[in-house]
Structure 1
């Protein structure tokens, strides 16, 4: 496995809560910002979920063969045809750079087991590490009852292996506030060599909690996102233990 920028931290117990809203707001380049405060959704636990799947074009391996030219190959199911050189195993990870109002800065991410805490600083917690793209994906919880302690949070996604493959995945980051509609940010732009993406900024602006779409792909890892947004952390190389299915 490849190496990635990582910070070491204490491992915490998993935390799980939150529920989905019945409707949604999609953040786009044109409509890129929404206020949680104005929607009455700036309290309770904000659930931030990452899910992904391979793009249909990669799974299909291109157009289906003609029934007349190659009847045996044409009758094979798509999942058999799709297992060629174009298929890769993608391990997308969800992370969050945080800055508190007292000046404390850090990161919550699977790498290094730095999973955070929802009831104590930084009031941000990662529920676990999904390495295989399961339906539930990966989830970060933010305790908005401590919103006055939070200055800004940058939610990001990075690829944990040596194969840049954002262009082969369809990833969605969804925010589920305690009240009101969910907020969706799709990572649909194709950046073949990108390894990380700053997805969304959650910022306390004069007491108002604002969610702003970023979707900025970079070709490095967390340290490059740090430089881009001026966090000023010290980064080193990090690894994951081998996972078993």
Structure 2
């Protein structure tokens, strides 16, 4: 999940919400580096490698939302374009942990405006047992367009989770090169959303 940092957009505007309560459903606007106004659309993605050698990506871009009960055993809840409280969720079917070799959870900015430093993004892991784990993407990398957040690897039947939080200045292809996935990447677009 994410929201714009209120310190970067002129502070909270409580009184206008009392007069116009439906503004809470409108995306907040952030001042970009070019001094134009933009909305930031962060997307959650997962690169996967299965034990049979199958590799791919689950992400909103291109509509690759995955499959929970079949390969790749990872499924996205959908595409949150406005930073709502629920954000985006990736589900991993742990009944098939033996089929999973590794998963790289990452976040990228769809609209190409590098503004990680203007968002308050948090990745929350909900393990099958134990407390939830929150990873804030608070480091200031104003030109970064993608961030590798967590690597999940199957080591002899045990899943290990490693915090990465590595910001890169490119998109998925650069994360792919950094972690040696070897996928072919092309340019993708989302359908237009009326606001």
Q: TM-score, normalised by structure 2?
A: 0.87
Q: CA RMSD in A?
A: 2.2
2:110 to 160, 163, 172: 160
User: CA deviation digits over 1:28-67, x for unaligned, max 9?
Assistant: xxxxxxxxxxxxxxxxxxxxxxx00111311336xx9xxx
1:136 to 80, 86, 94: 86
Indicate whether 1:90 and 2:40 are aligned. Answer: yes
User: CA deviation digits over 1:165-188, x for unaligned, max 9?
Assistant: 000001000011232211111100
Contact 1:171 1:187 in 2 (8 A): yes
- Match of 1:94, SS state, is strand
Aligned pairs, number: 181
* Distance change (3 Å), C-alpha of 1:78 and 1:214: farther
The structure with the largest alpha-carbon Rg is: 1
Q: Which blocks of at least 5 consecutive residues in structure 2 are unaligned?
A: 18-27
Write out aligned runs for 1:53-64 (5 A): 53-60=3-10
Write out aligned runs for 1:4-153 (5 A): 51-60=1-10, 85=31, 88-153=38-103
Worse overlay, 221-230 or 198-207: 198-207
Contact 2:9 2:31 in 1 (8 A): no
* Structure with greater strand percent: 1
Q: TM-score, normalised by structure 1?
A: 0.69
